[in-house]
Amino acid sequence: MPAKAGIHPRVVMPAKAGIQNRPQDILDTSLRWYDNILERFGMSSAEHRLLRQTLQNFVAKEIEPGALERDQKEHFDLNLFRKLADLGLLGITAPEIYGGSEMDAVAAVITHEELAYSDPGLCLAYLAHAMLCVNNLAVNASESQKKTYLPKLCSGEWVGCMAMSEPDVGTDILGMKTSAKRIDNHYVINGRKMWITNGVLDASGKPADITYLYAKTGEQISTFIVTPDCEGFSVGQKIMGKTGMRASSTAELVFENAKVPVENLVGEEGDSIKHMMRNLEIERVTLAAIGLGIGKRCLDIMIGYANERKAFGKPIAAFGQIQQHIANSYAEYQAASAYVYQTAQSDMSRLNSDGVKLIAAPMAKKVADSAMQVLGGNGYVSEYVAERLWRDAKLLEIGGGTLEAHQKNISADLLKRGGFESCGDRF
Ligand SMILES: Cc1cc2nc3c(=O)[nH]c(=O)nc-3n(C[C@H](O)[C@H](O)[C@H](O)COP(=O)(O)OP(=O)(O)OC[C@H]3O[C@@H](n4cnc5c(N)ncnc54)[C@H](O)[C@@H]3O)c2cc1C
């Protein structure tokens, strides 16, 4: 089509941050770099390397091409999500006997970092399924519940979510209002859950196949497995207009005298704190890993652009202030990366899972901001990717615990222990 009169087609820079054609030698260097860092922490393995390599190929071929469109259309692509099952990722930490891949937390970090390199929104949907729902069930559910639910969740036939937050309660989660009362062979559940990733799966309002739900039984909190056939359970609203993470769907869930069979109680009544504590660490470490993916991609974007873009007769990479963006971003990414991998390998305590998210979330936002700055006007438009990642990064400072909640937890833990040297978590 000829350009409309008076409107010139925008000139697009060659380094449009695409990853489909990343040269193999660069990918090999990157894999060697990860081998070194993992080895230094005693966690190198052929399995981890193969996982990263497989993911890099899959991401370039399957995920990157539609990432921009999914963001623009606020579209969760269920078919694409299900392809992750072919790589054994949907039950990455679940035992093999239930169809999982039985891999470790380092593998979960690698997966989240590589998926988020291209599409943090899709990666958030993955996290909600694989970490918040599947891993939770694998750790806390009974044998019979695992046998019933895990194979279908690991194969991608079913998609899961976890419902904890409410319209009036997030950080202060023990103050949740949703209640469950046992009547004969059922629990009757009343209340609303808010911000639930994967809470709705498509435009028709189809709910998740499994909702891992927290509700109050008296003063204590209990955990339930809710399926779509449960009478009185529905999707309240699909939440549109999110700043970022728009390739994931987010919903409000409604429970109006919802009848959940007693066999869907996970553990005993009042066990939820135990359940949350057993799963919280991997949730936060993998959220931090999404920050690593964003940081790494933004570094690639700004380095590629700085070498190509010219001003005052030279590449902008020649200017000290541009170098400062690149150098600071690199060092901050490396620091966060070392802390995340070390924590995943050796110390999944609350202290450090709060710590890695407190560091990696602002790092991701800051590095994305630097990438936008290096790209100038091009940084402000979606084709160059950095602005999407900058919007996605903001969620990491809120979801899965706000920065303030992490600060509160870390200081509480350290103060209780009486000092840093005695905390036992020093690397
Ligand atoms: C896109 C998205 C996806 C999400 N996915 C899920 C999901 O799948 N499942 C789920 O259960 N939840 C989910 N959440 C909810 C998320 O975990 C909560 O938004 C988060 O925990 C914060 O709760 P809130 O929004 O109620 O904020 P509030 O708790 O109301 O906090 C508001 C502000 O007050 C601050 N604040 C609160 N208490 C304190 C304190 N004691 N000291 C200092 N400051 C304080 C907070 O840090 C924050 O700045 C999601 C949220 C979003 C936006």
Does residue 97 surpass a pLDDT of 80? yes
- What's the CA-to-centroid distance between 402 and ligand 1, angstroms? 6
Instruction: Quickly list DSSP for 221-238.
Output: EEEEEE-TTSTTEEEEEE
Q: Answer whether residue 44 shows pLDDT above 90.
A: no
- The pick from 122, 127, 133, 165 for probing ligand 1's pocket by mutation, whose C-beta has the most ligand atoms within 8 angstroms, reads 165
Residue 421, pLDDT score: 64
In this prediction, residue 424 carries a pLDDT of 54
Question: Ligand 1 mean position to 135 CA, how many Å?
Answer: 21
Domains and CATH numbers, the chain: 24-155 (1.10.540.10), 160-272 (2.40.110.10), 276-423 (1.20.140.10)
Task: Average the pLDDT over 290-308 and give the result.
Answer: 97
Q: What angle do CA 273, 252, 406 make, to 5 degrees?
A: 40
Give the per-residue pLDDT at 26. 65
* pLDDT surpasses 70 at 23: no
Determine the 3-state secondary structure of 182 from DSSP: strand
Q: Is residue 347 very low, low, confident or very high in pLDDT (cuts 50, 70, 90)?
A: confident
Task: Indicate if the pLDDT at residue 1 is higher than 50.
Answer: no
| 298 has pLDDT over 80 | yes
CA of 164, closest atom in ligand 1: 11
Average pLDDT over residues 221-237: 97
pLDDT reported for residue 175: 96
Q: What is the pLDDT of residue 317?
A: 98
Q: What is the pTM of this model?
A: 0.93
Question: Which residue among 174, 195, 287 is best mutated to probe the pocket of ligand 1, counting the most ligand atoms within 8 A of its Cβ?
Answer: 195
Pocket of ligand 1 (CB under 6 A): 128, 132, 161-165, 170-172, 195-197, 242, 245, 250, 395, 398-402, 404-405, 408
The rounded Å distance from CA 405 to ligand 1 centre is 9
Per-residue pLDDT of 369-403, as tens digits, reads 999 999 999 999 999 999 999 999 999 999 999 99
- Looking at the annotation, which residues are catalytic? 283
Provide the 3-class DSSP secondary structure of residue 250.
strand
Mutate-to-test residue for ligand 1 from 250, 283, 398, highest number of ligand atoms within 8 A of CB: 398
Give mean pLDDT, residues 311-315: 97
**What φ, ψ does residue 182 adopt, rounded to 5°?**
-75, 130
What is the per-residue pLDDT for 241?
Answer: 97
pLDDT at 41 > cutoff 90: no
